[in-house]
Amino acid sequence: MLIISQNKEKVMRFGISFNALKYAERTDRKGKQTIVRHTICISDGLLEEVAEYESKERCMEVMKEFCEAYTDGYYTTEYFDDSAKPHKMTIYMRNQVYEFPEK
């Protein structure tokens, strides 16, 4: 699956270049003012911000939308027949997401 950053300046491939999306609450200080930022980051050992929203709840909604888009996709597994048959079987499998239940 491809992901386009919020500012449309970056396209990333989920699963190969990084392995996780993560919510991050960041605090920026501008003089005496403290600004809390709610962001979604990719994780590949480092956190890189890809989107910012007004609240944690909105970030969670967007991450849920990401999972829904992912499960709408399919992938294929091809099985090669070593016999002389010209036909190869292809199985289409839906991407799955497991969500851990709360306590």
First to last CA, the chain: 31
pLDDT of residue 17: 67
DSSP per-residue letters across 38-96: EEEEEESSSEEEEEEESSHHHHHHHHHHHHHHHHT-EEEEEE---SS-S--EEEEEE--
Task: Give the residue-averaged pLDDT of 14-38.
Answer: 86
d(CA 20, CA 1): 12
Tens of pLDDT, residue by residue over 52-87, are: 999 999 999 999 998 888 888 776 666 555 565 565
With CA atoms as reference, report the closest residue to 42 among 51, 54, 32: 51
